[in-house]
Structure 1
Amino acid sequence: MNESIHAACTWCYEGVWSMLTNWFRVPRQPPTLPVADDTVVTSFRPSDNYLRYLKLFFWIGCVAIDIGLAILWIVIAVASPLVGVLITPLMLFVMIVPDIVAYVAIHLKFDTMWYVLSDRSMRIRRGIWVIHETTITFENIQNVRLTQGPIERYFGFANLVVETAGGGASAEGQSHGQPHQGIMVGLANASELRDCIMDKARQSQSAGLGDDRHDSGKKCMATGFTDVDVALLAEIRNQIVQLPLQNATGN
């Protein structure tokens, strides 16, 4: 039963997603970077735990607002039963429709967010109504800050604030709308990605144009894989490598 409900919700959302992306002309593919044909480009979205994090605050807000509206509705109905009956359709509309719109907006926000990294630069995209794309070259990066609150730690992700030359954090620590910062939210492997970006920044800055820089071998992995996932994949790889040896011994 739960699988049927999940499949029905997914089907409905896919239809709404398709309609809204066509309506707002939201690109479905990740942004591109001007790179050579043989350059490895990594594209990824935030971790699924970030979507669960957004839904937590969505449900908290919905419950609080709907309870307040229900109390108001009851007070009006007690004071004037006729008025309470007349405003019933309006109250139901106000309590239900905004919740549906907000729920779909959360998914759209998550699905339209992209991070793209190459060997020389990175690009961040977010937005539905207005699409914002921030491109940062590694040679201009001055610092990469990791931010993580207690609830974010519970969900197992963190955020990275990339500061470029001339940039700096505001007093509140916000980076949206600032010309010298880019923010990557919902990263499951934020620490590894921060080290990777800083390593690429040091290489780019020490090599000038970057044509003769040495590759340290460190690759920026896409988010979504935790340490447990990586360990499991490594174990599977080791077992696959040992298969030919076991077959040879058996023969």
Structure 2
Amino acid sequence: MAPDDTTYRAQFNPLIKPFLVVKIGFTMACTVIGIPLAIVWFLGVGRWWARHYFDRLECQLGPRSIRFRKGILVTTEKTIPLENIQDVTFVEGPILRRFNLSTLKFETAGHSAGQASDMQLTGIIDAQAFRARILRAREALRHDAPKLQGNDAQLAVLQSIEARLAQIALLLERQQERGD
């Protein structure tokens, strides 16, 4: 999605870097095998990784979709059409609050219950305002949908269906005349 006048680019809080270092480091330290890895992680690898991860974080809200990109070695990019967004949940726990962060979880249509929150954005500056902007864009898109489709496109589809039904009716009449 190319940036234009209707595209809004979210900004991420730099405090996500120490949050990620601590979160991943403590997760590693919870296992016996992960303790040596956690030591290496806290000695500098984690800061290097978090800096590069932060530099590649990207989130854009366009007129019809939201696009999120993250990753260093493996890049993940997700695009969700606004009309598929069922809800955007704002999460702010005690650890996130300590780092002045929050998470937005997106629930989309067309996924099973286990995949309902298939995209999470942590660290967006002023996440409540960004959530409100997403929900307003979704509602505007839903209200403008009939205008966007246009009567000409609907008429063309209906004429195509009518022509196909006429062909089917003609074939059925011929079958009845032959006694099939």
Give the AA of the match of 1:54.
L
Amino acid at match of 1:194: R
Identity of aligned residues (%): 26
Secondary structure of 2:142's counterpart equals helix
User: One-letter code of the match for 1:51?
Assistant: K
Letter aligned with residue 193 of structure 1: F
Instruction: Report the Cα distance in structure 1 between the residues aligned to 2:45 and 2:141, rounded to whole angstroms.
Output: 44
1:183 Cα deviation from its structure 2 partner: 1.6
Please tell me whether the aligned partners of residues 125 and 131 of structure 1 are also in contact (alpha carbons under 8 angstroms).
yes
SS at match of 2:145: coil
Gaps of 5+ in 2: 150-180
Distance (Å, rounded) in 2 between the aligned partners of 1:105 and 1:138: 31
Q: What residue number does 1:41 align with?
A: 7
2:109 corresponds, among 165, 168, 178, to: 165
Q: Where in structure 1 do 4 or more consecutive aligned residues deviate above 6 Å? A: 61-65
Give distance in 1, aligned partners of 2:75 and 2:91.
24
RMSD: 3.3
Match of 2:124 in 1: 187
Q: Give the TM-score of the pair, scaled to structure 1.
A: 0.48
Distance in 1 (CA, whole Å) between partners of 2:106 and 2:29 is 35
Q: What does residue 76 of structure 1 align with?
A: none
SS of the aligned residue for 1:207 comes to: helix
Q: Which runs of 5+ in 1 are unaligned?
A: 1-32, 70-93, 171-177, 213-251
Tell me by how many angstroms 1:168 deviates: 5.7
Counterparts of 1:95 and 1:59, CA distance in 2: 8
Distance 1:205 1:164 in 2: 15
Q: How many residues end up aligned between the 2 structures?
A: 145
Q: Deviations over 1:162-203 (max 9, x none)?
A: 122123653xxxxxxx48732211123111111111111111
Indicate conservation of the 8 Å contact 2:18/2:47, yes or no: no
Instruction: Output the CA distance in 2 between the equivalents of 1:113 and 1:105.
Output: 12
- Give the match for residue 155 of structure 2: none
Where does 1:199-210 land on structure 2 (aligned, <5 Å)? 199-208=136-145
Q: CA deviation at 1:119?
A: 2.0
Q: How does 1:126-165 map to 2 (within 5 A)?
A: 126-165=70-109
The alpha carbon displacement at 1:143 in A equals 0.8
Q: Distance in 1 between matches of 2:93 and 2:41?
A: 31
